[in-house]
Amino acid sequence: MTTYCVTGGAGFIGSHLCERLLRLGHRVLCIDSFNDVYDYRIKIGNVLNSTGSTESLSFTDKQTDLQQLPSIVNRDNYKLVVADIRDRASVNAVFASESIDVVIHLAAMAGVRPSIEDPMLYEEVNVKGTMHMLEAMRRHNVRKWLCASSSSVYGNQKKLPFSELDVVDRMISPYAATKKSCEVMGHTYFHLFGIDTIMLRFFTVYGERQRPDLAIHKFMRMLDNGDELTLYGDGSSRRDYTHIDDIIQGMLGALHYIETEERVYEIINLGTHHTVTLIELVQTLERCSGRSANIRWMPDQPGDVEQTYADVTKANRLFGYDPKTDFEEGIARFVTWYRGERKW
């Protein structure tokens, strides 16, 4: 049984990954701070779902709920640690008390626009927090890790599709800059201390359990409530939307690759090699939800890239990555999930 430490394991991507690793018979050590970016109860729901817990939690207040949650979900093959990766002592305490085989580092402050408002917080969590993880790995002889990067590091480059060989020195948001910093620091620890590293550049992940602050979730909520949709630009901006199932398959492939190879430092795109415009996204949501959108158009916002488009040749070559989820099918599944889970 392999022990995987998953930071941000109560979040959207992290909870799906924890669930899959448990189903595969592994042990999961989940670290999450349950910060206030969105309602902490959503993350509690993610943890309960990902662990298959049959017990319920009567929500009272955040401190009490988070004190009770580990006693509900912890078992031999799963342990929840409520901790902030900015707290170096807490991170070291976890590594000192556990025998960890692989770290999957997903914890981060996400989002382009909020990073412009509070860049220092993004540096503190995404850069310093990542260094705390790397230092703990170095000190406790953990030599394998996957780290979440982002397609935002490509900025507004015109060359398409985006390849891992492209020069990425012109980020247009603090969030993107922190992710590039983590890629560089990952290589430093690979070179100096032999920590095998895969940096996964995720391309606009969507699907069941998606965070409520992300576009697809927000648009769906507005459609169902009959609210006006505020769209920025002229609707022609494009994204390479990647369903959570395909992301998890890619992460499992990357795990197998890094666990069976030595001296690994790789940057790898996980996308679909297919783009969808903003207006096509709204039209797909309309079809799948049976709702009509009332759109209010606004100028482009600072930090938003014009398009993302993943070249996934490398992921396919290294571990057979082959995304399967059709966009409309994925949106239909999200709509079904959203309408069934709104109580959270």
- Select which of 175, 206, 257, 321 is catalytic: 175
DSSP state of 344: -
235's tokens: 């609707």
> What separation in angstroms does the CA of 77 have from each of 14, 99, 256?
16, 13, 20
User: In angstroms, rounded to a whole number, what is the distance separating the alpha carbons of residues 146 and 249?
Assistant: 14
Nearest by Cα to 179 from 203, 163, 205, 199: 199
DSSP output for 203-233 = --EESTT--TTSHHHHHHHHHHHTPPEEEES
**C-beta separation of 332 from 208 below 8 A:** no
Identify which of 156, 157, 168, 175 has the alpha carbon closest to the alpha carbon of residue 116: 175
Q: Which two tokens stand for residue 142?
A: 């953990």
3-state SS, one letter per residue, for 90-156: HHHHHHHHCCCCEEEECCCCCCHHHHHHCHHHHHHHHHHHHHHHHHHHHHCCCCEEEEEEEHHHHCC
For residue 175, indicate whether it is catalytic.
yes
Report d(CA 317, CA 315) in Å as an integer.
Answer: 5
Hey, how many other C-beta atoms are within 10 angstroms of the C-beta on 287?
13
Cα–Cα distance for residue pair 28/3, rounded to 1 Å? 6
Catalytic amino acids?
175
